[in-house]
């Protein structure tokens, strides 16, 4: 071993664990989350619409937080697949985020029970009468039925939780043993995880977002969801790093170089999202076939037109130009600003995917949406703190940590 390895000191144990902050985060997160969910439920009950508004608003924010967790899982699998070294210093944070897929499964239960009880307030295809009378829907019945829907959901969460738990447990075991074989083992499993991830995320997005409008279809839909998920995951991770550092954690460990790297990924996936969103729109606009354009017709008329434009500029053009510069990417404060901006935009994206089905003409933006966002957001923060527990926030004996700490952008 050469001199350059010795110059890196082992960080103080206190600075790589949540410590006292954990309880505050859990109490705060779960407390606020619970209160907001109660408000949302009360609002829903007073609306006397069989909780229709509640379920749509809940699904919007649920997909928002789910996509962050899924992005983390996809990222982890890709890091191991490519034997990445740069990310070793931020990987534990993403392992914790990915593990929130566990509690996310519990938060999916309201939707699942609603579907299993035969309710069609959220998914119109679950209406037995409609299925019997509509020829088109009858044709889709082998896929769009409540039993298969539930089976698929169980498979998705089974795959995600198993994979997330695998990465987190192996990595934390390495904290103790420092055994490089654990890294090799994760590398060996990663291609299978990537394959399973691609299929489950695709079909989950079809089930939970695309099938809201059961007449509409797009072969690109899974890729679209994935692209947005990656933007929001990288943004969220960058915010996590900055927040932890502002609390005095991981100070010397996550250098400006890692912010630069994360920002490059944000920039790249903003471009990728724009590319996918544009391609999907262009092909349907150009083909101009009614059963395909109907989905966009709702979204570019009346109140939804402005939301579409907000997405075009807010999730693509403005952040694309804004995060292009190297100086911006190496400026932590500015990048935190962009990351928050992009998270807001990603929520608007989910809102745009889900809500037009609830209210095609008017923009349903009010207390219900806010309560669901804060409610699920509180749970999400609480879950992260709960999973982080006494764990280190740094893969302290990852064999590639020295590389990550030393690596500089040219």
Contact positions vs another protein (CB under 8 A): 1-2, 4, 82-83, 85-86, 136, 139-140, 143, 180, 183-184, 187, 191, 195, 198-199, 202, 217-223, 264, 271, 275-276, 279-280, 282-284, 286-289, 291, 398-400, 402-403, 406, 410
Shortest distance, CB of residue 297 to another protein, whole angstroms?
16
SS (H, E, C) 224-260: HHHHHHHHHHHHHHHHHHHHHHHCCCCCCCCCHHHHH
- Burial, 399: exposed, middle or buried (Cβ in 10 Å; 0-12, 13-18, 19+)? middle
Nearer to another protein, 252 or 291 (CB): 291
Shortest distance, CB of residue 381 to another protein, whole angstroms?
32
Nearer to another protein, 155 or 370 (CB): 155
Q: DSSP secondary structure string, 259-328?
A: HHHHHHHHHHHHHHHHHHHHHHHHHHHHH--HHHHHHHHHHTSTTHHHHHHHHIIIIIIHHHHHT-SHHH
Nearer to another protein, 198 or 256 (CB): 198
Nearer to another protein, 162 or 283 (CB): 283
Cα-based distances in Å from 55 to 110, 112, 382: 9, 11, 22
Nearer to another protein, 35 or 220 (CB): 220
Shortest distance, CB of residue 400 to another protein, whole angstroms?
6
Nearer to another protein, 31 or 191 (CB): 191
Q: Distance between CA atoms of 108 and 97, rounded to whole angstroms?
A: 17
Shortest distance, CB of residue 218 to another protein, whole angstroms?
5
**Taking the mean position of all CA atoms in its chain, how far away is CA 49?**
29
Shortest distance, CB of residue 63 to another protein, whole angstroms?
20
Shortest distance, CB of residue 272 to another protein, whole angstroms?
8
Shortest distance, CB of residue 23 to another protein, whole angstroms?
35
Nearer to another protein, 85 or 103 (CB): 85
Shortest distance, CB of residue 406 to another protein, whole angstroms?
7
Nearer to another protein, 202 or 245 (CB): 202
Q: What is the DSSP letter of 86?
A: G
Closest CA to 270 of 207, 313, 220, 215: 313
Looking up tokens 């119109």 gives 124
Q: Distance between CA atoms of 229 and 294, rounded to whole angstroms?
A: 25
Shortest distance, CB of residue 285 to another protein, whole angstroms?
9
- CA 209, 215, 220, 222 dihedral sign is positive
Nearer to another protein, 59 or 196 (CB): 196
Q: Distance between CA atoms of 336 and 197, rounded to whole angstroms?
A: 28
Mutual angle of helices 52-81 and 367-388, in 10-degree steps: 40
């Amino acid at each position: 071993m050469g001199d350059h390895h010795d110059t890196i000191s082992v960080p103080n144990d206190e600075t790589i664990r949540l410590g006292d902050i954990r309880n505050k985060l859990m109490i705060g997160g779960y407390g606020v989350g619970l209160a907001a969910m109660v408000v949302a439920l009360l609002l829903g009950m007073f609306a006397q619409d069989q909780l229709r508004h509640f379920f749509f608003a809940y699904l919007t924010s649920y997909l928002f937080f789910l996509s962050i967790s899924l992005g983390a899982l996809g990222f982890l699998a890709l890091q191991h697949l490519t034997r990445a070294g740069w990310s070793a210093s931020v990987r534990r944070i993403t392992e914790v985020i990915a593990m929130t897929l566990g509690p996310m499964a519990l938060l999916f239960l309201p939707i699942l029970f609603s579907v299993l009880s035969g309710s069609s307030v959220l998914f119109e295809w679950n209406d037995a009468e409609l299925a019997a009378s509509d020829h088109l829907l009858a044709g889709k019945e082998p896929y769009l039925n409540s039993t298969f829907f539930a089976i698929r959901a169980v498979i998705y969460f089974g795959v995600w939780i198993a994979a997330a738990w695998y990465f987190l447990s192996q990595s934390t075991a390495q904290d103790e043993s420092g055994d490089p074989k654990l890294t090799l083992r994760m590398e060996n499993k990663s291609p299978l995880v990537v394959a399973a991830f691609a299929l489950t995320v695709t079909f989950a997005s079809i089930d939970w977002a695309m099938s809201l409008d059961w007449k509409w279809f797009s072969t690109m839909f899974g890729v679209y969801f994935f692209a947005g998920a990656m933007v929001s995951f990288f943004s969220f991770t960058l915010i996590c790093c900055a927040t932890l550092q502002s609390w005095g954690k991981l100070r010397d460990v996550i250098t400006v170089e890692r912010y630069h790297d994360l920002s490059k990924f944000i920039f790249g996936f903003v471009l990728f999202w724009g590319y996918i969103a544009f391609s999907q729109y262009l092909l349907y606009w150009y083909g101009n076939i009614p059963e395909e354009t109907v989905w966009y017709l709702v979204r570019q008329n009346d109140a939804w037109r402005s939301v579409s434009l907000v997405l075009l500029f807010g999730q693509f053009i403005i952040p694309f130009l804004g995060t292009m510069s190297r100086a911006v990417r190496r400026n932590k404060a500015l990048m935190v600003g962009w990351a928050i901006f992009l998270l807001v935009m990603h929520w608007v994206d989910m809102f745009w995917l889900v809500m037009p089905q609830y209210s095609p003409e008017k923009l349903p933006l009010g207390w219900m949406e806010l309560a669901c966002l804060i409610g699920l957001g509180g749970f999400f923060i609480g879950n992260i703190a709960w999973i982080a527990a006494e764990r280190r926030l740094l893969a302290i004996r990852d064999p590639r940590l020295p590389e990550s700490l030393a690596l500089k952008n040219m």
